[in-house]
Amino acid sequence: MKKLLNTLFVTMPDTYLSLDGENIVVKQEESILARYPLHNLEAVCTFGYSGVSPGLMGACATRNIDLTFMTRSGRFLARVTGESRGNVVLRKEQYRISDDDRRSARVARNMIIGKIYNHKWILERATRDHQLRIDMDRMKKVSASLTEIMKQVREVEELDILRGLEGTAAVQYNSVFDELILQQKDDFYFHGRHKRPPLDNVNALLSFAYTLLSNDMKSALEAVGLDAYVGFLHRDRPGRESLALDVMEELRGVYADRFVLSLINKKLIHGTGFYRKENGSVMMDDDTRKIVLKAWQERKQDKIIHPYLNEKMSWGLVPYSQALLLARHIRGDLDEYPPFLWK
């Protein structure tokens, strides 16, 4: 498996990034704040309206360093991509599958199985680790029903039915998600998922984590030569990275939700780090965002054993390994797409 390199997050909005030889130079006004060698970087991600010199954009594009621009709240704005890597053949097959509902369903259902499986084991783990704090009966019931839904999903060949089952499973999981929050319950609670805009601290964190994950997923898909915008479960819509959203399904719980839960449960962040805007939407302040990004970066370095490949790798490479496995299935090397089944 390839090596995981660093991501440079730039959170100060009034900075300017430029190229000096083989280095990125971060400037504010006229003073140089930092300098990083390009060869250590996998991605550069800026929040707010940082400027980047065309020279640096070019250098990132030729070296396949992902350069992304986000708003301060973490909404995706733009991305610099180099010449797309060869393999038209792979993409054409991807489009053929995407045009065929039945074939799409057969790939998408494995991603949904991954999602439900991982949700199930998040709950199972919680019942094991925190027996005395958690409503065991409720958890066990939800876990059992997730297993049932998974078995049905395995047989599905129609996308609409698949979406229905996925919805049912999500309702089940969300109904007990609040149980997983074990600390700071006054400030962090989950009464349902709302994204536009997030109306409480937990939803604000989840939205932010999903953006980070989808960004990693998108780059991973493109790195293996797939088109992140053409999906199987999520239908095409201009500007929507449907395939990234598809593959992300299985990683939301195990990657992003668990990340958010650990920030709260380990008290790395606090209720005071969030504020409410006039329209009711909740945002995190700059310091909290910095803490979250730093923790995200550290999380990526943690090691796991990939369940299908049986190979030790860092969490940060999981999106890439799934993209690679998906490409392998599309080109016919693997009988099915193996989702990331965490336990």
Chain positions contacting other proteins, by CB under 8 A? 1-3, 85-87, 89-90, 110, 113, 117, 147, 150-151, 154, 225, 307-309, 311, 324-325, 328-329, 331, 333-339, 341, 343
Q: Which two tokens stand for residue 206?
A: 């989840």
Amino acid letter, residue 137: D
Backbone angles phi, psi at 308, to 5 degrees: -90, -45
Q: Which residue's CB is nearer to other proteins, number 57 or number 90?
A: 90
Q: How far is the CB of 117 from other proteins (least distance, A)?
A: 7
Nearest residue (CB) to other proteins, 111 versus 260? 111
Residue 255: partners with Cβ closer than 8 Å, 6 or more residues away: 213, 315, 318
Q: Which residues contact 111 (CB under 8 A, 6 or more apart)?
A: 232, 233, 246, 247, 249, 250, 337, 339
Q: In angstroms, what is the minimal distance from the CB of 164 to other proteins? A: 19
Min CB(338)–other proteins separation in Å: 4
* Nearest residue (CB) to other proteins, 115 versus 289: 115
Q: How far is the CB of 326 from other proteins (least distance, A)?
A: 11
Given the complex with other proteins, which of 200 and 227 has the nearer CB atom? 227
Least Å distance, CB 336 to other proteins, is 4
Three-class DSSP category at 302: coil
The reply, when asked if residue 222 is annotated as ligand binding, is no
CA-to-CA dists, residue 15 to 34, 46, 262, 292, 319, angstroms? 11, 10, 31, 20, 29
CB atoms within 10 A of CB 338: 19
Distance CA 137, CA 139 (A): 5
Choice between 154 and 277, CB closer to other proteins: 154
Q: Is 194 annotated as a binding residue?
A: no
User: Residue 2 Cβ, how far from other proteins at the closest point, in Å?
Assistant: 4
Please indicate if the annotation marks 336 as binding a ligand: no
Report how far Cα 82 is from the mean position of its chain's Cα atoms.
22
DSSP 229: T
Tokens of residue 183, six digits: 């600390």
Q: Which segments of the chain are extended strands (E)?
A: 6-10, 15-20, 23-28, 31-37, 41-47, 51-52, 66-70, 76-80, 274-276, 282-284, 303-305, 312-314
By beta-carbon proximity to other proteins, the closer residue of 296 and 342 is 342
Q: How far is CA 163 from CA 158, 169, 301, in A?
A: 9, 10, 33
Closer by beta carbon to other proteins, 12 or else 90: 90
Give the nearest distance from C-beta 339 to other proteins in angstroms: 7
Numbered residues of the known binding site: 166, 234, 249
Numbered residues of the known binding site for Mn(2+): 166, 234, 249
